[in-house]
Amino acid sequence: MSGTENGNERRSDPDLDPVALEVLRNQLEGVAEEMGQVLVRGAYSPNIKERRDCSTALFDADGRMVAQAEHIPVHLGAMPEAVAAVRARDPVPGEVWALNDPFAGGTHLPDVTLVSPLSPAGADGTVGYAVSRAHHADVGGSTPGSMPAGAREIHEEGTRIPGVRLVRDGEIADDVLDFFLANVRTPDERRADLRAQLAAHDRAEARLTDLLAEHGEAVLDAFDAVIDYSRERMESELAAIPDGTYEAGGVLEGDGVTDKDIPIEVSVAVDGPTLTVDFAGTADQVAGNLNAPPAVAKSAVYFVVRSVTDPEIPPNQGCYDPVTVIAPEGSLLDPDPPAAVVGGNVETSQRVTDVTFAALAEAVPDRVPAGGQGTMNNLVVGSRTGEFAYYETIGGGSGATGTADGMDGVQVGMTNTLNTPVEVLEAEYPLRVDRYALRPGTGGDGEYRGGLGLERALTVLRPATVSLLTERRRTRPRGVAGGEDGATGQNLVDGKTVSAKATVDVESGATVTVRTPGGGGHGDPADRDPEARKRDRRDGKAEE
Do residues 94 and 3 make contact, with C-beta atoms less than 8 angstroms apart?
no
The residue-averaged pLDDT of 392-410 equals 97
Q: What is the pLDDT of residue 70?
A: 82
Residue 527 lies in a domain: yes
Residue 257, in any domain of the structure: no
Mean pLDDT of 225-246: 97
Question: Which amino acid does the sequence have at 507?
Answer: E
Q: Give the C-alpha separation, 58 to 130, whole Å.
A: 5
- Whether 98 shows a pLDDT value over 50: the answer reads yes
Element (H, E) at 393: strand 389-393
Assess if residue 8 is contained within a domain. Answer: no
- Please provide residue 276's backbone torsions phi and psi, each rounded to the nearest 5 degrees: -120, 125
| Amino acid in the structure at residue 259 | D
Predicted confidence band at 129 (pLDDT cuts at 50, 70, 90)?
very high
* Domain end position, chosen among 230, 259, 274: 230
Residue 263 lies in a domain: no
pLDDT band (50, 70, 90) for residue 303: very high
Tens of pLDDT, residue by residue over 413-425, are 999 899 999 999 9
pLDDT tens-digit series, residues 44-90: 999 999 999 999 999 999 999 999 988 888 887 789 999 999 999 99
Confidence band of 1 (pLDDT split at 50, 70, 90): very low
Identify which of 52, 132, 122, 124 has the alpha carbon closest to the alpha carbon of residue 86. Answer: 132
Last residue of a domain, one of 183, 207, 230: 230
pLDDT of 12 > 80? The answer is: no
Residue 542 placed within a domain: yes
Give the per-residue pLDDT at 9: 42
Q: Rounded distance, CA 432 to CA 422, Å?
A: 8
pLDDT of 507 > 60? The answer is yes
Q: Is the pLDDT of residue 10 over 90?
A: no
pLDDT of res. 7: 37
Task: Evaluate whether residue 300 is within a structural domain.
Answer: no
pLDDT digits (tens, 9 = 90+) for 322-331: 999 999 999 9
Give the pLDDT band (50/70/90) at residue 5. very low
Residue numbers of the domain that contains 137: 18-230
Residue at which a domain ends, from 167, 196, 230? 230
- Give the 3-state DSSP-derived string for 165-216, with helices as H, strands as E and coil as C: EEEECCEECHHHHHHHHCCCCCHHHHHHHHHHHHHHHHHHHHHHHHHHHHHC
Q: Which amino acid is at 281?
A: G
Q: Is residue 152 part of a domain?
A: yes
For 520-528, what is the mean pLDDT? 97
φ, ψ for residue 56 (rounded to 5)? -140, 150
Mean pLDDT value across residues 35-49: 97
- For the chain, percent of residues with pLDDT exceeding 70: 97
Q: Which helix (H) or strand (E) holds 48?
A: helix 46-49
CA-based torsion, 205, 209, 212, 215: positive or negative: negative
Q: Where would I find the beta strands (DSSP E) of 439-506?
A: 454-460, 464-469, 490-493, 496-498, 501-506
Q: In the chain, how many domains are there? A: 2
Q: Give me the pLDDT at residue 77, please.
A: 78
Q: Would residue 3 count as lying in a domain? A: no
